[in-house]
Amino acid sequence: MITKINLWLGLIFKFGVLTLAFLTPLFFWSYTTEFYETPKFVLLMFAVSLFILLWVTKWVISGKISLTVSKLDIPFLLLLFAFIISMFFAASRPVAIFGNLPRIHGGLASYVLYIVFYFVLAA
């Protein structure tokens, strides 16, 4: 029973990644101030949250925590550390954290999301 649930969670995860890859370029929303980038960021944030929830559910059901280690883990963590340090030395911390609003890309929040997305996909 546990293996069937783990198999279904794996299939849901793979289908979710493929759906995200298909929907991201097509996702626009005119209700935000920046209709091109902000909806894509929100979609990615929602998807990463669901992927983390699936990941944790898989851990709970199987009764063990399994992490995949690759050669890119340390460089990404060092890059994240560099982003965090540069945020403290920035002239404007809100811009360093959230980006030059309404554009989110380039801020610490976007890079944290991208790195967390990498770790979720690599697992």
**What is the band of 18 on the pLDDT scale with cuts at 50, 70, 90?**
confident
Mark residue 48 as left, alpha or beta (left: phi above 0; alpha: psi -120 to 50; beta: remaining).
alpha
pLDDT of residue 118: 92
Spell out a b/e string for 7-37, using b for 16 or more CB atoms within 10 Å of the CB, else e.
eebeeebeeeeeebeeeeeeeeeeeeeeeeb
- pLDDT in the model for residue 74: 93
pLDDT (tens digit per residue) in 40-92: 888 889 999 998 998 888 888 888 887 788 899 999 999 999 999 999 998 88
| Res 11 pLDDT > 90 | no
Torsion 35-114-6-18 (CA) sign: positive
Per-residue pLDDT at 29 = 75
Asked if 89 contacts 54 with a C-beta cutoff of 8 angstroms, the reply is: no
Report the mean per-residue pLDDT for the chain: 85
pLDDT at residue 7 above 90? no
Report pLDDT for 3: 79
Residue 31 has pLDDT above 80, yes or no: no
CA 26 to chain centre: 18
Give the pLDDT score at 78.
Answer: 95
Maximum separation of any 2 CA atoms in the chain, in Å: 55
